[in-house]
Amino acid sequence: MRVAIAGAGLAGLSCAKYLTDAGHTPIVLERRDVLGGKIAAWKDADGDWYETGLHIFFGAYPNMLQLFKELDIEERLQWKQHTMIFNQPEKPGTYSRFDFPDIPAPFNGLVAILRNNDLLTWGEKIRFGLGLLPAIVRGQKYVAEMDQYSWSEWMKKQNIPPRVEKEVFIAMSKALNFINPDEISATILLTALNRFLQEKNGSKMAFLDGAPTERLCQPLVDYITARGGEVRLNAPLKEILLKEDDTVRGFLLRGLNGAEDEICKADIYVCAMPVDPLKVMLPPPWREIDHFKKLEGLEGVPVINLHLWFDRKLTDIDHLLFSRSPLLSVYADMSNTCKEYANPDKSMLELVLAPAKDWMSKADEEIIEATIGELKQLFPKHFSGENPAKLLKYHVVKTPRSVYKATPGRQACRPEQKTPIANFYLAGDYTMQQYLGSMEGAVLSGKLAAQVIAKDYPAEKLTPSSDISYLLPVTSNP
């Protein structure tokens, strides 16, 4: 069957990939001239890449890792040492590490925490451990119930000293959802902690070896088109057209550069756009249906991704760093971490600015100036003295609405991929799946959408390469 999918982010492309495996024919319609949505990247006039976001792949991403395997591109993931590295603001230019030894979970995580004495005292670690006990003992059910609290509220409820939040969880919260602990739902951090503690390599990190559009999205497109599917750029969905029974009649595509609008007809339709444009585009008769009505509770969170090229090497650390600075979240020297961006003589820092709400309307120059101010704390040696590091160039990428803002109560607003409309499905990191707003969540949501479509509309003839066992989602321990 022909399936029209709006949106060529990871969710739309993964949905199309798994639909071809199930013997269907997807046509992916992307609004922009670039693949990847929130993992999109561009080349500047010098041939240097800049990206929507600094992206990290975790060992606890089974569906993503399986996708790399199925596309035969596993070697493109550059795995780093199993450690988490935090800057120490009170000792500028120094780092505190959580090193995970090569022993089974949860012991590797416990040893990593117990061995680190820079950030937390023994008393704080013990009180944190005791506070976490219900999550460890009662598992995912308890974690889901904690969506009623912010992380700060949950810590208080569990009698965990406020310093634990300040030292570790402001950084974690900003890294996971670009907001602070007093805003983020406790479910988000508890879910991440559970995965990191229960899976031996759950917190192990990898960088892609180049720009995500070329190194991950393009192989997906090649896979889809080689099996009869299609991916069209510059094809924005303008309106979802309905039949009299309120099922979908077609996707109306906006004609660009003076071209006429066009109707894309298919047997089945999938929306893999972010939740914010979908909310605007919902046909009026659907707005009263609970499945769609609850989308009102979801909204993308602003974030800014910065790229700064310097005249020298600032660090040789080949890993993600948690800045623990007021303005910034995580960052990495991509000239060390990413093969395609490698440079032995000059650093290219990619940094996430979060929370970004108050910075979205500011000029790029002002944002860069504030960032350099913080870099003086992170790399004091290179930004003081007679010959400070020189900024050669920069790119600032603002995303006003990125992943859904995971404040308390949002879990109840996340819709299933199957909707009450017979020929219409949803995919996207915001839809209900166990991985929150992330690349893993996006890939899994696309796979789940393909799975329900394959169940509701089994393909008449499977091609020899079709194997719908792929469509069973790979889950990990909750």
Q: Where do contacts with ligand FAD occur on this chain (CB under 6 A)?
A: 6-12, 29-32, 37-39, 52-56, 236-237, 272-274, 277, 303, 305, 352, 399, 402-403, 428-429, 437-442
Q: What spatial distance separates the first Cα and last Cα of the chain, rounded to whole Å? A: 34
- Complex with ligand FAD: residue 23 or 300, whichever CB lies closer: 300
Least Å distance, CB 216 to ligand FAD, is: 10
- Complex with ligand FAD: residue 41 or 120, whichever CB lies closer: 41
Task: Tell me which residue has tokens 């039949």.
Answer: 243
Strands of 21-163, DSSP E: 25-29, 41-43, 49-51, 57-58, 77-79, 83-87, 95-99
What's the rounded Cα separation, in Å, for the pair 147 and 145?
A: 5
Reduced to 3 states (helix: H, G, I; strand: E, B; else coil), residue 176 is helix
Amino acid at 86: F
Least Å distance, CB 303 to ligand FAD, is: 5
- Complex with ligand FAD: residue 208 or 454, whichever CB lies closer: 208
Least Å distance, CB 416 to ligand FAD, is: 15
Structure tokens given for 469: 């066992």
Least Å distance, CB 253 to ligand FAD, is: 8
- Complex with ligand FAD: residue 12 or 59, whichever CB lies closer: 12
Least Å distance, CB 181 to ligand FAD, is: 18
- Complex with ligand FAD: residue 377 or 417, whichever CB lies closer: 417
CA distances to 128, 180, 304 from 476, in Å: 25, 27, 31
Q: What are the backbone dihedrals phi and psi of residue 458, each rounded to the nearest 5 degrees, phi first?
A: -60, 135
- Complex with ligand FAD: residue 188 or 459, whichever CB lies closer: 188
- Complex with ligand FAD: residue 338 or 389, whichever CB lies closer: 338
The 3-class SS string of 28-59 reads: EECCCCCCEHHHCEEECCCCCEEECCCCCEEC
Least Å distance, CB 338 to ligand FAD, is: 13
In the 8-state DSSP scheme, what is residue 391?
Answer: E
What's the rounded Cα separation, in Å, for the pair 455 and 433?
A: 18
What's the rounded Cα separation, in Å, for the pair 12 and 5?
A: 6
Residues 6+ apart with CB under 8 A from 179: 173, 301, 354, 355, 405, 406, 407
- Complex with ligand FAD: residue 54 or 184, whichever CB lies closer: 54
Distance of CA 147 to the CA centre of its chain: 20
> Do 208 and 216 touch, CB atoms closer than 8 A?
yes
Reduced to 3 states (helix: H, G, I; strand: E, B; else coil), residue 404 is strand
Least Å distance, CB 320 to ligand FAD, is: 8
Least Å distance, CB 156 to ligand FAD, is: 28
Least Å distance, CB 378 to ligand FAD, is: 19
Sheet holding 391-399: strands in order across? 95-99, 83-87, 321-322, 328-333, 348-353, 303-310, 391-399
- Complex with ligand FAD: residue 131 or 202, whichever CB lies closer: 202
Least Å distance, CB 53 to ligand FAD, is: 2
- Complex with ligand FAD: residue 320 or 389, whichever CB lies closer: 320
Q: How many CB atoms lie within 10 A of CB 462?
A: 15
Radius of gyration of the chain from its Cα atoms, rounded to whole angstroms = 23
Structure tokens given for 464: 């020899």
Least Å distance, CB 62 to ligand FAD, is: 13
- Complex with ligand FAD: residue 42 or 383, whichever CB lies closer: 42
